[in-house]
Amino acid sequence: MRKFIVLVQKAPPGFQLTVHALHKCEIGQSWEAFGHYTADATGAVNVSEDPSLGGTYSGVEQMGLLWSLRPVPGSKPGLRLRKVNVQTPMEVTISVYQGHQTEGFMDQVPLASVVVERWFIAPGVRRIPITEDGLTATLFLPPGPGPFPGLLDLWGGSGKLVEYRSALMASHGIASLVLDYITPKITMETGRMVDLQYFETAYKVLEQHPQVLSSRIGMLGLSMGASMTLKMAVYSQVIKLRCAVSFGGSHVQPVEGSVEQINSDRIRVTEENEVIYRDLSLPIPSDPSLKVDVGRLKCPLLLVLGDDDQNTPAYESAMDMKEMMERAGNNHLLTILLYPNAGHMIEPPYMPYARGGTYRTLDTHERVKVLWGGETVAHSRAQEDAWKKTLVFLRENLFGSTNPGAP
């Protein structure tokens, strides 16, 4: 996603002003971010070069008006900003107000305003809903005839089709199929969670598509999606991956279990009534039946994690996976990206940081508040860096001509 330039001109030299961003998301919630600036001798402020003296971010932060977006005062707690319809832009109103303001923006008339459009899908990318074979999925194909390398994209335990990451992947030349495996139509109709064959069916849709290179398919998952990615990469006889990416995932899960068995009832709760799930898998078990045997992995694996992940013991899991792979002699396939003070939900760049959110448990379907962890600035930096390095990893392994699994 490209950075934007916010330039304020024709203000009096030394003028104190507030640059404010406002976004009304698709479910009607308003989000805002703002920085305090002082105009230079020419009466200008360049957000890309000049430091914010306060607000929702400080210092020189070109994209601070996006990554520090937060619900406006009075909003209900636990909100998370997600783009629902990727075929329309995310519209952000950038306004300039006199003085260093911190509240009451809606009651004031701005000195100037402009609407910025942020697109998650490049021109020419095709969005194709997939409902065949009981799947609930969406395929995004890059512009042109192809064939393209493919990617199976899995989000976490919140369910629904979250399409913006796959749309971005297709914008970078990768045919990406995002799969709903928590709340697909088949589960809604039968009340039963999907089995592992469901993921293999999605893989086959990619593999057999005429515009996808069948021998160049990867898998990327976040949270529970990462756990499923690890499991399928090691044990599936159908899914043959060129590479795998895990965001905030763990290999600790019953090897013979199904999707709903990854969760547990043993939880810790904060004073704010937020559920912490990370302790459920600690200490990392030594019993091989309770974790994926990554020593059998035959494709390159990228682990992306924050060291303040409160949802998954991602760091401890990564260290155990590293040890397992060293013992098995396949550790040359492993790359670990560890981000200090980053939390669980590492998203595409400039998406607003969320310390926690709400989640519906798979067994009782009870809605609970969960703590994801992290710190705003560090987490936002992690998202930007991880996105760049993930794209490099995917390009090297999905577009490269050599066998990525070779020593």
CB-CB contact of 304 with 247 (8 Å):
yes
- Domains, the chain: 9-119 (2.60.40.2240), 126-399 (3.40.50.1820)
**Residue whose tokens read 């308003």:** 30
pLDDT at 360: 66
- pLDDT tens across 39-66, in order? 999 999 999 999 999 999 999 999 999 9
Can you tell me the mean pLDDT for 377-394?
97
Q: Are 130 and 166 in contact (CB under 8 A)?
A: no
277-280: long-range contacts, CB 8 A cutoff, minimum separation 24: 277/310, 277/311, 277/312, 277/370, 278/309, 278/310, 278/311, 278/312, 278/313, 279/313
Check if the beta carbon of residue 218 is closer than 8 Å to that of residue 398: yes
Catalytic residue among 223, 227, 281, 317: 223
Q: Compute the distance between CA of residue 56 and CA of residue 199 in angstroms, rounded to an integer.
A: 41
pLDDT digit string, tens, across residues 306-344: 999 999 999 999 999 999 999 999 999 999 999 999 999
Give which of 253, 258, 257 is closest to 280, Cα–Cα.
253
Q: What is the mean pLDDT of residues 209-214?
A: 96
Residue in 29, 105, 107 with CA at minimum distance from that of residue 71:
29
Catalytic residue among 153, 180, 309, 320: 309
pLDDT at 5 > cutoff 60: yes
Is 133 a catalytic site residue?
Answer: no
DSSP per-residue string spanning 264-286: -S--EE-TT--EE-GGGG-SPP-
pLDDT tens track for 157-203: 777 899 999 999 999 999 999 999 988 888 888 888 888 999 999 99
In the annotation, is 365 catalytic? no
The reply to whether 287 belongs to the active site is no
Coil, strand or helix: which one is 10? coil
Q: CA–CA separation, 197 vs 305, rounded Å?
A: 28
Question: What percentage of the chain carries pLDDT values higher than 70?
Answer: 92
Burial label for 236, CB within 10 Å (0-12, 13-18, 19+), is: middle
Cα end-to-end span (Å), the chain: 33
pLDDT(133) > 60 = yes
DSSP label of 291: B
- Write down the pLDDT at residue 253: 84
Residue 403: is its pLDDT beyond 80? Answer: no
- Top pLDDT among 164 and 280 is at 164
Quote the tokens at residue 7: 């330039």
